Structure 1
Amino acid sequence: MALTSNDTVLTEAFGPSQGTALRLKQAFMVVAGIVALALFAKIKIPMWPVPITMGTFAVLTIGAAYGPRLGLTTILGYLIIGALGFDVFAGSSAEAFGLTYMMGGTGGYLVGYVLATLALGFAARAGWDRSVLMMALAMLIGNALIYLPGLAWLGVLYGWDQPILQWGLTPFLIGDALKLTLAALLVPAVWKLVGDARK
């Protein structure tokens, strides 16, 4: 399926589609998305070798459900709130927050969040979110776009002679596979529910 921007994304399938009511719906979706990103970032599920954090699940799912424009607005809003010092990131706390936290080891992954949100948004706009297989492929691409700048920034900060992959990639692969599977099943399932409701 080609990446042509013509399909409706999930958030456009319900509610108002024009005028002031649409703008209010979009504003609500952005606020709800930022809240969801902040809440999911703090969820940690015990897992080997490291706990699963649900932040990337929220990023990828919101990207697919919102589309590129609304998704980008939401993820940038989330990052701005984090930059202002609010405790919205997975590892942020009263001791480590704001731009100081964002410029640390997590910084590259946060850049990746923006890239992944856009990628999932364009994939959804192309209709990939209606199929489990295509959604899984989109999720894999999105996850790779999170890791690439994340690992690159770790290399810049700590040096390429360090075990960058062992720090920033391999411990998270099992958890990521589970999250990607869940997201790839969830979005097409919601589309099916929307279709059934319209029958």
Structure 2
Amino acid sequence: MMTNGLAVDRRFAPLLSRVAPRGGAGTALVTAVTAALLGSLLLAVSAKVQVPFWPVPMTMQSMVVILLGMAYGSRLAVATVGLYLLEGLCGLPVFAGAGAGPAYMAGPTAGYLLGFLLAAGVTGRLAERGWDRNPLTAVAALAIGHALLFVPGVAWLGVLFGMEKALTVGLYPFWAATLLKTALGATLLWAAWAALGKRPEA
């Protein structure tokens, strides 16, 4: 079957395709556009809501990025994150801080924003291979997604401030929250598939 323009094993169609209305190309386009708009809105909301945590407050944005990848599949997830970044580039207040626009996106968070695209695309591809159907592979997929967020994020901070400071401010404070969000995301995925009964594509 085709999903988001990619040929994938019909057994491993993304979660969205199992709950979206079925129909022709027009219905699929409406579904994709609606999903992208809702996904970009969810990313904006998740960036603004901070949860008290140790050693620093956490947002759920990284988990939402990765879950969008797992639920949407690679192409639609990348398009959704791309739409979110375009909104920020245009100056809309969608990011965790108060800033937006080209200057903000070229600043210290630029690497993490690039990581959003990488994480969405790769975890979406893993979902298309069935990694979201099993608790262990779901945890692995979310862990890979988080790594793809941190690698370019910390690397860019290293270019700006040196690697020691980059690790101190851009990685070490977030270990505990990342572990928690990985476990929570995998649980949500497994619960979603359990609720659907893992029905095969008809």
TM-score, structure 2 as length reference = 0.90
**Partner SS state of residue 44, structure 1:** coil
**Partner SS state of residue 93, structure 2:** coil
* Percent identical residues: 39
Match of 1:146 in 2: 149
Match of 2:36 in 1: 30
Q: Separation in 1 of the partners of 2:23 and 2:96? A: 34
Q: Separation in 1 of the partners of 2:149 and 2:198? A: 34
Matches within 5 A, 1:151-162: 151-160=154-163, 162=164
Q: Counterpart amino acid of 1:189?
A: A
Q: Per-residue displacement from partner, 1:153-186 (whole Å, max 9, x unpaired)?
A: 00111234x4221110010110111111110111
Q: Residue 192 in 1 paired to residue 197 in 2?
A: no
Query: Aligned-pair distance for 1:18?
Result: 3.0
Matches within 5 A, 1:52-63: 52-63=58-69
Q: 2:13 aligns with which of 8, 11, 15?
A: 8
Q: Separation in 1 of the partners of 2:174 and 2:95? A: 17
**Partner SS state of residue 197, structure 2:** helix
4+ runs of 1 displaced by more than 2 Å? none
Q: Residue 182 in 1 paired to residue 188 in 2?
A: no
Q: 2:113 aligns with which of 106, 110, 114?
A: 110
Q: Separation in 2 of the partners of 1:27 and 1:120? A: 20
Match of 1:169 in 2: 171
Q: Give the total of aligned pairs.
A: 191
In structure 2, the gaps of 5 or more residues are: 1-6
**Partner SS state of residue 45, structure 1:** coil
For the Cα contact (< 8 Å) 1:109–1:150, is it kept in 2?
Answer: yes
Q: Separation in 1 of the partners of 2:130 and 2:17? A: 13
**TM-align CA RMSD:** 1.6
In structure 1, the gaps of 5 or more residues are: none
TM-score, structure 1 as length reference = 0.91
Q: Counterpart amino acid of 1:64?
A: M
Match of 2:52 in 1: 46
Q: Separation in 2 of the partners of 1:97 and 1:132? A: 37
Q: Separation in 2 of the partners of 1:137 and 1:147? A: 15
Q: Per-residue displacement from partner, 1:29-73 (whole Å, max 9, x unpaired)?
A: 011101000001111001111001111011011110000011011
Q: Counterpart amino acid of 1:149?
A: P
Query: Aligned-pair distance for 1:197?
Result: 8.2
Q: Separation in 2 of the partners of 1:168 and 1:186? A: 26
